[in-house]
Amino acid sequence: MISGPILHLEEPLSFWGGLDPATGVITDIHHPQVEVCVTGKILVMEHGRGSSSSSSVVLELIRNKAGPVAIILLEMDTHIVLGSIAAEELYGLLMPIIVVSRDILESLHTGDIVNIDPKNELVSFS
């Protein structure tokens, strides 16, 4: 079971150039949540902002143990999911990517604690 506090991003984030993979801190000066740290959080955003380097940055975040524990999206983002697949392949580290409906996405507020079961389905809120 994966558990963590929600960090709901107000705008999509480009992992490349927008986040420091060593620390997990958002560095994009144009992002409303600049300087917020994603480490250990369940990151919620509508979609990624696909830079082709995002997969590598996600992989590096996971290697550094600076990443979120899971990412919840409205639309699947292949760049993000590949970073997660490669981390499992290389290091055996898991960071599930979950796609949910808009209703569920909008019900997830920063600070809520959410549990995720091993089949990557959102199970409970508290």
Partner 1 sequence: MSLELTSDDLEMLNGRDGEAVSMAMRIIVRLAETVKAENLIDITGAHIDSCLYHGLSTIDFADRLVQLGAKVKVPTTLNVSSMDLLHPDLYRGDPEESEKGRQLADLYEAMGCKATWTCAPYLLEERPNFGEQIVWAESNAIVFANSVLGARTDRYGDLIDICAAITGRTPAAGLHLDENRYASCVYEVEKLPPSLLDRDEIFPLLGAFIGSTTGTQVPVINGLKANQPEHRLRALGAAAASTGSVGIFHAVGSTPEAPTLTAALGEREPLNSINVSVENLQEMRSKLTSATGTDLGTVALGTPHYSIEEFSILRSLVSGKKKHPNIDFYVSAGRDVLLELELRGWADELRSFGVSLVGDTCTYFSPILSNTSDPAMTDSGKWAYYAPNNLGVEVIYSSTSDCVASAIEGKVILDESIWTHE
Give the span between the Cα atoms of 26 and 15, in whole angstroms. Answer: 9
Catalytic residue flag (residue 51): yes
Whether residue 70 contacts residue 61, with contact meaning beta carbons closer than 8 Å, is answered with no
Helix (H) and strand (E) counts in the chain: 4, 8
Bridge-based pairing state of the strands 113-116 and 19-20: unpaired
17 vs 111, which CB is nearer to partner 1?
Answer: 17
Catalytic residue from among 3, 51, 53, 56: 51
Q: Annotate each residue in 31-60 with x if it binds partner 1 (CB under 8 A) or - if it does not, as one string.
A: ------------------xxxxxxxxx-xx
Q: How far is the CB of 19 from partner 1 (least distance, A)?
A: 11
Give the span between the Cα atoms of 98 and 84, in whole angstroms. Answer: 11
Residue ranges that bind partner 1, judged by CB under 8 A = 16-18, 21-22, 27-30, 49-57, 59-60, 62-64, 75-76, 78-79, 81-83, 85-87, 89-91
